[in-house]
Chains A and B, each alone.
Chain A
């Protein structure tokens, strides 16, 4: 049966399975189903860090069947923005959930004492995690669970670090060491429920309707992904290949976006990293692309000659922006150490970088002093100080660091410096200052993320064509893109594979495995899901009039020139009008 939902109640330590095949048949899976489940299960106005918050994990009809249908979506109420929380992760999570026999997992309630939940062979186990709570390094937690739990090779270990335990509003949930439910604070929601980890193993089979067509389409995707140029960008250098081109056009946020070009971009660029540090490439389950790039950082121990450690550190464009150019860091190894610390603590690298950048500028401008920073003197490029600050944000020994752990919008509302607190809709800014479409996309996107509607690619296209964009054009593009992405994240397909999974192809792929949606129906459904997400946001207190770009974004010219306030305002209004909100 397609549409099994596993419910886990952490308060009562109970679990049960619910047949939602009709819901899945009408709404595909992933976010389409997830938003409905969240709407129904989450009491209106729930405290994001209270037991009443609900976490929905969902996969889709293509999971476990086709390559690159490799993501799990998580929906919850975000402790960072106070409305819709959504993040996606790969690793082995999606495969494990579906092949364990479920299409969604709904977690509610809260445990009194630390626990972790393990799901094996259709059984749910609530296990004590008191000993794991407080372990300073989340990588150690992964190692322990790997040894304790069965299912090596066909399981996912989703866990939080100390940041989640300490309710840092942008703590992440890490899976398979290097993949993250990164944005909007799922880690803090786990922490508030005293849920240290969720382990899922599964290796079932999925019957398909038309085996012949299924195999043919499978080969089509496989060939497109491995023998054509369509995925090459992610394959060769990985997402870090964006650093140089963005820097060249002047769209790489640098030193808290005081500038949009970084003089040392070369040292944090994809080519440089690949040439000097790339140590291994790995993949999510069922993805031939292997976009996960791991740098091998070899360091000597100071107390012992000829004694080294080698750490494997995953890198991508977004952390390079946030913990690299945004902080003016040109020491490559120093940047890697920050990445590693983000893994150890399990915080969202993007939000953390933006928070540290604001802290540096606020310190520069004298809004805060060493009294607040507990003696730290943040300075652009000084990764050693940032390393200490990251730990302090998590440990929160003082009120100031507690404030930083709430996100940059909150911190700036208290200490000032809102005009350069780079938060959009409450979520820290992604690494694109490419032009108006990027920023309008961050504002209007349901989760205020670059992954919502990718306005940065439209900006770059307009730049290449050397013309002026119109409001209509931007709004139509963003709306269409974000709507279609609702379908990709209902299937659930990795966005990197969006070039392969176009509407016509998706229709066929679904048909082979027994679901009939035609492509125009899909497009309509996408818009409907997007509307629903936004209605949910409004229900939870989101207000259009609160949507503003921080001053800094207007002050620093983009590759398409200065961004115009009026233009942005009109575009945002038009977007919501067209979406029908």
Chain B
């Protein structure tokens, strides 16, 4: 089975409902957005539509390369895994991600990294997202 990721199929269909964002924290048992690894924001005002920011599961992840403690390891097939215990909260990974897809847990001072579970995709009412194999 190949590694999967959330892919933004067509952001022009996005209505900005943020249900995907809420889904991500809910899958961990919480309401709100504090643990979400996906962000939807307007592209310069709501009149211009939305952009969805989520980990695209890079083959050669820059975030992993800059992690000084080895807390981020490359996932087979693309993307990364985070080992919370090794993470020192330096924030290099967040700065290195060109998409801004590493979010931050301010309480723990640790990154929030997508788990590639696909839960959010089930709650997108407008088929903006799909859960698919990582493209090589």
* Distance in Å: Cβ of A27 to nearest Cβ of chain B: 21
Q: Which residues of A contact B125 (CB under 8 A)?
A: 225-226, 288, 290
Contact of A282 (CB < 8 Å), options: B15, B25, B123: B15
Pick from B41-49, B57-65, B79-87, B91-99 the stretch touching chain A: B41-49
A215, B30: Cα distance in complex, Å: 10
Subset of 20 A-B contacts with CB under 8 Å: A95-B33, A99-B32, A99-B33, A139-B45, A143-B44, A152-B41, A153-B40, A205-B31, A205-B32, A206-B31, A206-B32, A207-B31, A214-B26, A215-B26, A222-B123, A283-B15, A283-B16, A286-B22, A287-B17, A288-B123
Contact with A along B10-38 (1 / 0, CB 8 A): 00000111110010011001111111100
Question: Which residues A86-138 have CB closer than 8 A to chain B?
Answer: 92, 95, 98-99, 121
Is B39's beta carbon under 8 Å from chain A? yes
Question: Which residues A293-307 have CB closer than 8 A to chain B?
Answer: 294
Give the nearest-CB partner of B34 in chain A. Answer: A205
* Inter-subunit contact A282/B30 (CB<8 Å): no
Q: Which residues of A contact B36 (CB under 8 A)?
A: 203
* Inter-subunit contact A294/B33 (CB<8 Å): no
Q: Which residues of B contact A205 (CB under 8 A)?
A: 25, 30-35
* Inter-subunit contact B47/A288 (CB<8 Å): no
Contact with A along B63-85 (1 / 0, CB 8 A): 00000000000000000000000
Question: Which residues A2-52 have CB closer than 8 A to chain B?
Answer: none
Is A270's beta carbon under 8 Å from chain B? no
Question: Which residues A265-318 have CB closer than 8 A to chain B?
Answer: 280-288, 290, 294, 311-312
Q: Identify the interface centre among B35, B46, B48: most chain A CB within 10 Å of its CB.
A: B46
Q: Which residues of A contact B17 (CB under 8 A)?
A: 283-288, 290
State whether A288 and B45 are in contact (beta carbons under 8 Å apart), knowing that A154-B33, A211-B29, A215-B26 are contacts in the complex.
no
Q: Which residues of B contact A287 (CB under 8 A)?
A: 17
Q: Which residues of A contact B18 (CB under 8 A)?
A: 92, 95, 153, 283, 285-286
* Inter-subunit contact A203/B34 (CB<8 Å): yes
Give the nearest-CB partner of A92 in chain B. Answer: B18
Give the nearest-CB partner of B53 in chain A. Answer: A153
* Inter-subunit contact A203/B26 (CB<8 Å): no
A285, B45: Cα distance in complex, Å: 14
Is A555's beta carbon under 8 Å from chain B? no
* Distance in Å: Cβ of B107 to nearest Cβ of chain A: 9
Q: Which residues of B contact A177 (CB under 8 A)?
A: 45-47
* Inter-subunit contact A208/B34 (CB<8 Å): no
Q: Which residues of A contact B29 (CB under 8 A)?
A: 208, 211
Q: Which residues of A contact B26 (CB under 8 A)?
A: 214-215, 218
Q: Which residues of B contact A281 (CB under 8 A)?
A: 15
* Inter-subunit contact A99/B49 (CB<8 Å): no
Give the nearest-CB partner of A207 in chain B. Answer: B30
Give the nearest-CB partner of A291 in chain B. Answer: B15
State whether A64 and B46 are in contact (beta carbons under 8 Å apart), knowing that A205-B25, A285-B17, A286-B17 are contacts in the complex.
no
Q: Which residues of A contact B42 (CB under 8 A)?
A: 152-153
* Inter-subunit contact A142/B45 (CB<8 Å): yes
* Inter-subunit contact A286/B15 (CB<8 Å): no
Known: A205-B30, A294-B47. 9 other contacts (CB 8 A): A95-B18, A203-B32, A205-B25, A205-B31, A205-B33, A208-B31, A222-B19, A222-B123, A281-B15
A539, B50: Cα distance in complex, Å: 46
Contact of B34 (CB < 8 Å), options: A152, A204, A280: A204
Q: Which residues of B contact A286 (CB under 8 A)?
A: 17-19, 22
Q: Which residues of B contact A211 (CB under 8 A)?
A: 29
A341, B50: Cα distance in complex, Å: 24
Give the nearest-CB partner of B49 in chain A. Answer: A280
Q: Identify the interface centre among B19, B44, B49: most chain A CB within 10 Å of its CB.
A: B19
Is A67's beta carbon under 8 Å from chain B? yes
* Distance in Å: Cβ of A154 to nearest Cβ of chain B: 6
* Distance in Å: Cβ of A438 to nearest Cβ of chain B: 31
Give the nearest-CB partner of B35 in chain A. Answer: A205
State whether A67 and B32 are in contact (beta carbons under 8 Å apart), knowing that A142-B45, A215-B26 are contacts in the complex.
no
Give the nearest-CB partner of A283 in chain B. Answer: B17
* Inter-subunit contact A153/B15 (CB<8 Å): no
Q: Which residues of A contact B31 (CB under 8 A)?
A: 64-65, 205-208, 214, 513
* Inter-subunit contact A203/B33 (CB<8 Å): yes
A280, B14: Cα distance in complex, Å: 9
* Distance in Å: Cβ of B11 to nearest Cβ of chain A: 12
Is A146's beta carbon under 8 Å from chain B? yes
A139, B44: Cα distance in complex, Å: 12
Is A178's beta carbon under 8 Å from chain B? yes
Contact with B along A134-160 (1 / 0, CB 8 A): 000001001100100000111000000
A206, B19: Cα distance in complex, Å: 15
* Distance in Å: Cβ of B118 to nearest Cβ of chain A: 16
Is A176's beta carbon under 8 Å from chain B? yes
State whether A312 and B47 are in contact (beta carbons under 8 Å apart), knowing that A286-B17, A287-B17, A288-B17 are contacts in the complex.
yes
State whether A204 and B45 are in contact (beta carbons under 8 Å apart), knowing that A222-B123, A285-B18, A286-B22 are contacts in the complex.
no
